[in-house]
Amino acid sequence: MASLCRRLSAAGAGASVGRAQLRRPAGISELRYSCYVGRPMRLVAAGATVGGGAWVSFASGGREEKVGACSYAVEDRKLAADGGRESVEGSGKRAAEVAAAAATTVVLGVGNRVLYKLALVPLKQYPFFLAQLATFGYVIVYFGVLYIRHHAGMVTDEMLDAPKAPFVVVGLLEALAAATGMAAGAILSGASIPILSQTFLVWQILLSIIFLGRRYKVNQLLGCFLVSIGVVVTVASGAGVGNSLKEGGMFWSLLMIISFFLQAASTVLKETIFLDSTQKLKGGSMDLFVVNSYGSAFQALFICLLLPFLSKLWGIPFSQLPNYLKDGAACFLNVGTLSNGCDGAPLLPLLFIIVNIGFNIALLHLLKISSAVVSCLASTFSVPISIYVFTMPLPYLGVASSLPAGFMTGAIILIFGLLIYAWTPSNGSFSAPT
């Protein structure tokens, strides 16, 4: 096997001469090797892969250090074709992984919406209790899973020692989003909230462009726009949403939009945490249970600080909050004299909490392997499916709902928007800043 040697001379007084050696595999017609150095060193090629660069080590002043990949090019058509095929296969696996994660998110999103409605059947008098049970229960569940994963070696000490400031901001954003959403939701009609929720996608696109440097293609922006229009048509037809928004007032509509802005900011910040961790952590990307656990913990902390305000929104005087939570727990457990009218508890609320946890994990996993916009589109796609499920004879809900007049039209527009967005492969959907 032939070898290629190239001398590298360093400028400056007293500079020593370095020598780099790279072996040329048999059958390769030409091998070009280059490495740029800024100080005297000895370079020895440690290995080479097609398209990946050779990792080298250098010794200078009696110590050996690791440096980046030195560039080289192999001009051989057969090997280039093999490398291209491996790249295509890797891209195909990536796309399949994102598609599977998106499908799982959609299914769990539908279950989350349907079971939330079912969970409120026994807890119809205690919706605030259900909200707090979910918030503080998730902290226990997430940290329990995090403890198991840490002892199994899936979560490293370096991940746990990551700066907590981003998680504090995540918790604050989600607590404020919950507070503003509750305030506006108490005034606005149920039909108008899904319409206003489409601003969530708009906020995510804008924030990802500003803070992540994303550049979206025209087909992707058009696809997102059609998805939002599809949801609006699906929900709004025959519901008198225009009058509902007018009755609710502009202030409360804007407050709900602010709530979705805070949620979008939290999602983009989580994506930033994942992106930064791939560069800073030696063990790879941040484990999603680290993000979920610390984010939920700080959210619960800020919810505690906001409890006087939140309880007032639900019409519960803060002085009566302990008795309210006690009665809610009795109904949730379906015990005692307060269990009348709590049929379906605790099974339905527990099912909702379990599916909601699974939905949050699936959504964060999809966010980790794709982007905030893709995760939002998957969540949005669950809206029309949920509307259709409610037309079925579900237990505890009584008479099934009827489909809105424009359901099929809205669903077709939504699916068409998703197809247009997915026309470009996800790895080519944006360009990060250099």
- Answer with the residue of higher pLDDT: 119 or 22: 119
pTM for this model (two decimals): 0.74
Beta strand spans in 112-245 (E) = none
C-alpha 63/C-alpha 148 separation (Å) is: 40
- Answer with the residue of higher pLDDT: 300 or 9: 300
- Domain range list for the chain: 3-78, 91-428
Q: Are 239 and 194 in contact (CB under 8 A)?
A: no
C-alpha 204/C-alpha 227 separation (Å) is: 14
pLDDT score of 241:
56
Evaluate if residue 75 carries a pLDDT over 90: no
pLDDT score of 343:
87
pLDDT score of 346:
92
pLDDT score of 55:
34
In this predicted structure, which of 238-242, 344-348, 385-389, 427-431 has the lowest mean pLDDT? 427-431
- Most confident range, picked from 33-37, 129-133, 237-241: 129-133
Read off the pLDDT band of 64 (50, 70, 90): very low
pLDDT score of 15:
43
pLDDT score of 86:
57
In this predicted structure, which of 244-248, 414-418, 428-432 has the lowest mean pLDDT? 428-432
- Most confident range, picked from 5-14, 24-33, 99-108: 99-108
Average pLDDT over residues 61-83: 39
- Most confident range, picked from 56-60, 67-71, 184-188, 272-276: 272-276
Compute the half-sphere exposure of residue 334: CA atoms within 13 Å on the CB side of its CA: 13
pLDDT score of 347:
93
Residue whose entry in the numeric block shows the structure tokens 């930064």? 276
Query: Coil, strand or helix: which one is 350?
Result: helix
Triad 295, 297, 300: Cα angle to 5°: 110
pLDDT score of 291:
96
Mean pLDDT over all residues of the chain? 78
- Is the omega angle on the peptide bond into residue 346 within 30 degrees of 0, that is, cis? yes
Q: Are 260 and 201 in contact (CB under 8 A)?
A: no
Evaluate if residue 62 carries a pLDDT over 60: no
State pLDDT tens for residues 11-52: 444 444 444 444 544 444 444 444 444 444 333 333 333 333
pLDDT score of 283:
59
Evaluate if residue 6 carries a pLDDT over 90: no
- DSSP symbol at 339: G
State pLDDT tens for residues 306-341: 999 888 888 888 999 999 999 999 999 988 766 677
State pLDDT tens for residues 151-201: 999 999 999 999 999 999 999 999 999 999 988 887 887 667 888 888 999
Total Cβ atoms within 10 A of residue 213: 12
